[in-house]
Structure 1
Amino acid sequence: MNRVDIKEVNRNRVYQLVYQQEQVSKPAIASALGISLPTASQCVNELIERNLVYEKGYFESTGGRKAAIITLNRDIKVSVGLEILKELIHLTVIDLYGTVIHEKFIPFRFNNDEAYCIRVGEYIMEFIAECRLCHDTILGVGIAIQGLVDEKTGNVTFGRILNANGFCADRIGRYVPFSCTLRHDTELAASFALWHNPAIKDALYMVLNRNLGGAVIINGEVHRGQILPSGLIAHMTLVPEGELCYCGRRGCVERYCSADSIIHAFEQELDDFFDDLRNGEPKHVAFWEQYLKYLSRAIYNYQILMSTEVVIGGVAAKYLTEEDLHKVVDMELEKSNIAERFPRISISEYNNTAAGAALIYIKEFLGQFGIRVKA
């Protein structure tokens, strides 16, 4: 490597360390990276000139001169996330640490036409103006949609929930001055949960939204199959020749374990259903017992194949109690003659698909500095 390459490598290493430590001094940088203090100082000064890091006060003195606190300018670059749902859009802005700093829900029914795309573009620009964001700080707009997206073409190949077949990022991108990328919503929801819980290594991320979704995580990364996304547990057969699913098959997990299966059974929103359930309404209690049985069967079928932990997210996840999870585990074991225990089932605290979409550009930006975040 020549001197220019070495300088860039050192500068990137310093940026990585500041990102990871959040607050660090120049002497600590030199010690951690095994470089001289003048080299560390030069790298920090160059990063300050680029507005990527800055000095924020001083550490307490340990006997000598106080060392300046070097910290990341976490919102020098931000990313916008857009989640497209049937009846609304969800907009977010996240910083370089994946923290949501702005958020907005807008009722707006999806239509696979130009008028819809024009208005969504306007909503994005209005949102950016409301957040008072400079355009040069925005890395791009990540878009999450309820539909399977072809990795090569970027087009929705299966979007029956929204009637979105053929939809692509460019449809909206032509109305905003930023790069746009479209991905399957469940993969992005899993990505956001994984970003905030890097301890997850191998798991099924199961999303109990109005429509059920799933994504398999392998070695700390969302796994994508050769043709389809992994983890399409919603369309595994749970009840042979059972209720008709929107996919055209019968008896899918979607028909028995999605949040819609609860809402439609009692024509109640989730808050009302769970209020009645926890108050002991007999019909609700009976329904919930059957629901947990279906959920346990779906998870059992997955566990027999993959034997990893299961992380449950989505709008219905927050209503599940530890007692509910214990029942699911007990019901799994009742059906099994080959296992005395299964990997754990847990609830995700991080449920934000729009933010997962925004992460697409955050990861791309950090990758320029050699920061590879598994998500």
Structure 2
Amino acid sequence: MSDKGMTTMAVKKINKNKVYSFIRQEVTTSKLQIVQKLQMGLSTVSQNLKILEEEGLLEKNGYFESTGGRKAQAIQIRRTARISIGIGILKKMVHFVAIDLYGTVIFDSTQDIPYEPSLDYYRQLGLELEEFISENDLDRSSILGVSIATQGIIAPDGQSVSYGVIMDNIQMKLSDFTEFITYPCRLEHDSKAAAYLELWNHQEIDSAVVLLLNRNMGGSVITNRQVHQGIHMHSGIIEHLCITPDGPLCYCGCRGCLETYCSANALENASGMGITAFFQELGNGGSRCRQIWDDYLNHLAFAIRNLNIMIDGSIIISGYLVPFFIEDDVTYLLNQINSSSPFTLSREQILLGTQGQYTPAIGAALYYIREFLQNV
């Protein structure tokens, strides 16, 4: 093919992506608005709209109000023209989510499937995935892929878990899943997946620390809008910061890790109550729960204070426990952080996640959506 031919094809691809991206960004627009905002010729816009509609990526949904002439058709992307599925694997359960081209969850489900490194487990997971797809009447041809978030550090080649003490899943391999899942698949560390979701939700973020307050705590670091991985992929493992050298024994074999103070499991162990019951009692004014929660927040504040010294950015609190946070808790955290730090945090720097326990599964699923949007 000639250089001229390649250049023409490249330009067409760029124009197509520009038109599609603009429509997605605007949510609803018209042909004339696309022409004006993108400063493209009418014939170029019309041609790209035709191609995108033929590919099933666009839909026309009514008309704009007339401004004196013919009413303009309202153009939108088809949100479910492509779908990505995320699976969040925990020690005792599995979360399934399906997200659309805006990254919005359209279906979710939680199944009590305890992890075990066996062929039967991976076979059951494949069957549960197929049932999730069937029950929600998902178009299989629209599924871009299945991204699997698990507790454990993923090897640099993405093919296996290189460190997995919590679930004892160091033997977990991507090939275990692909034997029973027919869609494109990938593995993702659950904490890094949480960071990808926050980057998606907060376009203004440049640098941040993400604290994933799940059954077991997790963390990740964002710099220059990239999730930092490190040489051995364990950058940002905040849960193993040592808070007190002679503190409780952590699953990693060390003492006093942040995990032993600020995971949901640690909160349950301290209170002897389930999480929902604990926060109900806390809301009812239980003094013992108040003391336990203050201790929890004090340890979290201590960690955030130190992390803010290293990473000058946002602090994003995400995961299972976040729906239980109230504004008074954030105020308490800020007061504790700023009372002992040379560099104070503002309220605007502390962000709360919105997806609770499904955060890792959603964040993992976004991989295939981002990939598709870059290559429309």
Same topology, TM > 0.5: yes
Q: Counterpart of 2:29?
A: 24
**1:355 match:** 362
CA distance in 1, matches of 2:339, 2:19: 54
The answer on whether the counterparts of 1:196 and 1:350 sit within 8 Å (CA) in structure 2 is: no
Count of residue pairs brought into register by the alignment: 367
1:188 has 2:193 as partner: yes
Distance 1:286 1:111 in 2: 37
Tell me the alpha carbon deviations over residues 296-333 of structure 1, each in whole angstroms, 9 at most, x when there is no partner.
11111111212322111111122222222222222223
Query: Offset at 1:278?
Result: 2.6
Change (3 A) 1:333 1:46: closer
- CA shift digits 1:81-102 (9 cap, x unpaired): 1110111111111111111111
Report the equivalent of 1:342: 345
1:167 match: 172
Matched, 1:66 2:71: yes
What's 1:203 paired with?
208
The one-character-per-residue Cα deviations of 1:261-312 (angstroms, maximum 9, x if unpaired) are 1101122111111222232322222222222211111111111212322111
Find the aligned partners of 2:83 and 2:329 in 1 and give their Cα distance: 38
**TM-score normalised by structure 2 residue count:** 0.93
Larger mean Cα displacement after TM superposition, 97-106 or 17-26 = 17-26
User: Are residues 1:275 and 2:290 paired?
Assistant: no
Q: Which moved more, 1:281-290 or 1:39-48?
A: 281-290
Give the secondary-structure state (helix, strand or coil) at the position aligned to 2:193.
helix
Q: 1:121, 1:175 within 8 Å by CA — same for their partners in 2? A: yes
Matching of residue 308 in structure 1 with residue 313 in structure 2: yes
Q: 2 CA distance for matches of 1:23 and 1:184?
A: 35
Q: 1:224 aligns to what?
A: 229
Distance in 2, matches of 1:272 and 1:365, equals 42
Give the Cα–Cα distance (whole angstroms) in 1 for the partners of residues 49 and 338 of structure 2. Answer: 56
Q: Distance in 2 between matches of 1:280 and 1:12?
A: 55
Gaps of 5+ in 1: 370-375
Letter in 1 for 2:93: L
Stretch moving more, 119-128 or 321-330: 321-330
Structure 2 contact 215–264 (Cα < 8 Å) conserved:
yes
2:58 — aligned with what? 53
Q: Where does residue 373 of structure 1 map in the other structure?
A: none
The amino acid across from 2:364 in the alignment is A
- Give the C-alpha shift of residue 153 in structure 1: 4.2
Distance 1:197 1:243 in 2: 35
Determine the structure 2 residue equivalent to 1:41.
46
Distance 1:195 1:185 in 2: 15
- Partner Cα distance (1:217, 1:133) in 2: 33
Q: Do structure 1's residue 84 and structure 2's residue 79 form an aligned pair? A: no
SS at the partner of 2:339? helix
Task: Give the whole-Å Cα distance in 1 for the aligned partners of 2:67 and 2:138.
Answer: 40
Question: Which residue in the other structure is 2:14 paired with?
Answer: 9
Q: Contact 1:143/1:169 (CA < 8 Å) preserved in 2? A: no
Alpha-carbon distance in structure 1 between the residues aligned to 2:366 and 2:208: 20
How much has 1:48 moved relative to structure 2? 0.8
Q: Is the 8 A contact 2:146 2:184 kept in 1?
A: yes
Q: Is residue 366 of structure 1 aligned with residue 373 of structure 2?
A: yes
Match of 1:372 in 2: none
Residue 130 of structure 2 corresponds to which residue in structure 1?
Answer: 125
**CA–CA separation in structure 2 for the residues paired with 1:292 and 1:114:** 41
Q: 1:111 aligns with which of 102, 109, 116?
A: 116
Letter paired with 2:370: K
Q: How far apart are the structure 2 equivalents of 1:54 and 1:282?
A: 56
State the identity %. 36
How far 1:335 sits from its partner (Å)?
2.6
Distance in 2 (alpha carbons) for counterparts of 1:62 and 1:272: 57
Amino acid at match of 2:140: H
CA RMSD for the aligned pairs? 1.6
Cα deviation, residue 61, structure 1:
1.2
Matched, 1:325 2:325: no
Flag the 1:73–1:323 CA change in 2: closer, same or farther, 3 A: same
Q: TM-score, normalised by structure 1?
A: 0.94
State the secondary structure of the residue aligned to 1:283. helix
User: For the Cα contact (< 8 Å) 1:79–1:95, is it kept in 2?
Assistant: yes
Q: Secondary structure at the match of 1:205?
A: strand
Q: Could you tell me which residue of structure 2 aligns to residue 262 of structure 1?
A: 267
